[in-house]
Structure 1
Amino acid sequence: MMKATIEFDDALYRRLKVEAARRGRTVRDLVAEGVRHVLDSPPSTADASTTALWQPAWFGSLRTYAAAVDDHAMSAVKRSVARGRGAEPAR
């Protein structure tokens, strides 16, 4: 068995500890499970040689639409929503 030191930001580590306790498991178990999940999952359909485009977490189920967008500024989002409603907002 190998040992590794992994640094987490404080908020993420607190969430991890809470989830481990909720499941009655150790942090080590959850981290190992997560690593196994990533390694056992099929590769994404995106070209592995390119870096994935950053998308805000709040896109959620709209992620497929977000993949085609390159401007995630709030002003661009508002314009897009307004276009969907048939009106262009004032800038």
Structure 2
Amino acid sequence: ESARREIMEETGLQVKNLRYCASQPWPYPSVLMVGYVATYESGELSLQRSELRKGQWFKRKALPQIPGKVSLARQLIDRWIEQKL
């Protein structure tokens, strides 16, 4: 429920079918990156600027430069590209 609420607060989007995928420790003290995937339900993308600098929809074959292979974000993107999510 907290992940769903954070998504709404930071992006303006409602999601459903939220599923945990993986987690990764960050170099900052006591920080853990947690990766989820979800299905878009409703809402217009509207970013909370104090939390996010950019947000955009992309097609699998038209991605911008993506994070390095060791990042959790990259692992999730790769699984999405391979249609394993």
Q: Quick one: higher RCO (CA 8 Å, sep 6+), 1 or 2?
A: 2
Normalising by structure 2, report the TM-score. 0.20
Larger radius of gyration: 1
Higher helix share: 1
Normalising by structure 1, report the TM-score. 0.20
